[in-house]
Amino acid sequence: MPTPSPATLPADTIQRALGEFQIVLADSQVLQIQQYMNILLAWNEKINLTAIRDPLEILNRHFCECMYAAATVPVTVGRLADVGSGAGFPGLPLKIIQPELDVVLIESNVKKATFLAEVILDLGLRDARVLVSRYEELAEEVAPLDFVCSRALGEFAPMLRWACSERVAAKQVILWIGARDLPEIEKIQPWEWREPIPVPHSLRRLLLVGERKVQPPAEGPDPQESAES
């Protein structure tokens, strides 16, 4: 694993920021954050991956806020799909903090998908892959899913219908949302929504977790009654 460049945030700065989100990482995981940030900043000069340019703000907004879900949801083991992954958030930070996760990054933009593949390769992440596709076109390629997560997705309703469909059958969805989006999302069925989790150091951003309601099978005629009639 290469040594981080001199421009990278120091390890103690990263650990201090993570600590404000009640996150504790090993030195090797901090180094992965430094590597990831180096690749992100270099690629961001060529393609628009994030509007945030300041490394400390990238750390807080992208890494800390994403990793915060690992403890609060919690996200531990299982298969996770990151819909509209973009620069890899939240899927790759969750993979760093929970290496046992099987992570699928869904990204339709070829250039962004190429960036994600480079991050996975350079960080040596196993059980992490990129699917260059629109999420609506996927089913058996990702199912079954324990978690579907998304951040900064334009329209949540179509994605939530896809996630709860029988062909995908996601058990949970994890959304990073603005407070103003909450009332509309909470109306979407058949998800059972938990109490929103405020994101530290933010007045407007929330973590919202939904669990798929299992629909009872439709009652048909009693076989015995049918036989007797």
Residue 76's φ and ψ, nearest 5 degrees, are -120, -75
Domains of the chain and any CATH numbers? 11-214 (3.40.50.150)
pTM: 0.90
Residue pLDDT, tens place only, 66-106: 999 999 999 999 999 999 999 999 999 999 999 999 999 99
Question: What are the pLDDT digits (tens) for 150-194?
Answer: 997 778 999 999 999 999 999 999 999 999 999 999 999 889 999
- CA–CA separation, 96 and 113 (whole Å): 18
Q: Specify the higher pLDDT residue, 33 or 5.
A: 33
Residue keyed to tokens 């593949």: 117
d(CA 210, CA 170): 10
Lowest mean pLDDT among 30-39, 161-170, 213-222: 213-222
Pairing mode, strands 205-212 and 191-193: antiparallel
Q: Which of 25, 208, 88, 137 is nearest to 80 (CA)?
A: 88
* Residue 34 CB coordination number (10 Å): 21
